[in-house]
Structure formats: C-alpha cells, structure tokens
C-alpha cells in the first residue's frame, strides 16, 4: 500500500509568510483554538485567534511541518505560542487581505474536546475575509 502524500499546507504557509516578509506586508494567521493550541486565552474569541507573525512581533519563530511556535508579547507580557499546522485556518497580509485559507474539519483533528456544556464544538470557525493570491 502506498504511503499517503504529505500535506502541502506547511509549505504554503511558509511561502505566503515569505511573500509577506519580502514585500513589507504583515503576515497574520487565523487559528482555530482548542486544547492542543497554546495561546493567551483572554485574546480568543469564538474559538479563534489572529496572530501576527512579523519579525517585529515574533521571537524565535519556527514554521515547521507539524507546528508553528514562537514567543510574543501580549499586553506587554511575554508568552510562548504553539499552533499545530492543522489548526491554521488562514494566512494573509494584514495590509491587503491577500493570502490563503484552508479547510478545517475538527472531526478529523483528534479526539473531541471535553465540554461542560451541551453546546456542540463542531461548529465551523468563521474566517477573515481574504483576497486569494492568483
């Protein structure tokens, strides 16, 4: 049996990040937040957070095939950030919205997140309005 083709998502994220950096744009990522994501929870709204990946905002940025990690300041407090690649909903330039969005199916991302309420955690996350790169 042939091995499955590896995801091209981390490569596309790195390419859009490089494009933003090369042309002076600010790369942002939209992230679906659950228990596998390490971000300051006070900045999460509707299970999502938008993170600035510019060199000015990030320290020790690592854009790996399985995750994105870095250190950043939130309200002046340094925080360590960890985002599985599977949880990146989009990467885009803040200045013009050009970038790329990615499908997200929480059902295939692992075990369901335990919840104390009866609300479903399978709602599809909203996404920022993007102008797709042509």
6 or 105: whose pLDDT is higher?
Answer: 6
Binned at pLDDT 50, 70 and 90, residue 112 comes out as very low
Q: Which residues contact 1 (CB under 8 A, 6 or more apart)?
A: none
pLDDT band at 109 (very low <50, low <70, confident <90, very high): low
How do strand 88-93 and strand 59-63 relate by DSSP bridges? unpaired
Domains of the chain by residue range: 9-104
More confident residue, 113 or 81: 81
Share of the chain above pLDDT 70, in %: 77
> In whole angstroms, what is the distance from residue 68 CA to residue 10 CA?
9
As a whole number of angstroms, the distance between CA 75 and CA 102 comes to 29
What is the bridge-based pairing of β-strands 98-101 and 131-132?
parallel
For residue 3, what pLDDT is reported? 80
Output 105 or 104, whichever has higher pLDDT: 104
- Note the residue count of the chain: 134
Which pLDDT tens digit goes with each residue over 66-104?
999 999 999 999 999 999 999 999 999 999 999 999 988
pLDDT band at 125 (very low <50, low <70, confident <90, very high): very low
Helix H or strand E encompassing 51? strand 48-52
CATH number of 9-104: 2.30.30.220
User: Can you tell me the mean pLDDT for 111-130?
Assistant: 43
């Amino acid at each position: 049996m042939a091995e499955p083709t590896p995801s091209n998502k981390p490569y596309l994220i790195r390419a859009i990040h490089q494009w933003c950096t090369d042309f002076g744009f600010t790369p942002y990522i939209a992230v679906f937040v659950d228990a596998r994501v390490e971000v300051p929870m006070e900045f999460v709204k509707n299970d999502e957070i938008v993170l600035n990946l510019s060199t000015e905002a990030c320290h020790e940025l690592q854009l790996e095939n399985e995750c994105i990690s870095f250190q950043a300041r939130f309200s002046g407090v340094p925080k360590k950030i960890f985002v599985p690649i599977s949880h990146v909903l989009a990467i885009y330039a803040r200045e013009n919205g050009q970038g790329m969005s990615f499908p997200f199916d929480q059902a295939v991302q692992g075990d369901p997140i335990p919840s104390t309420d009866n609300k479903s955690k399978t709602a599809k996350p909203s996404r920022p309005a993007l102008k797709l790169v042509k």
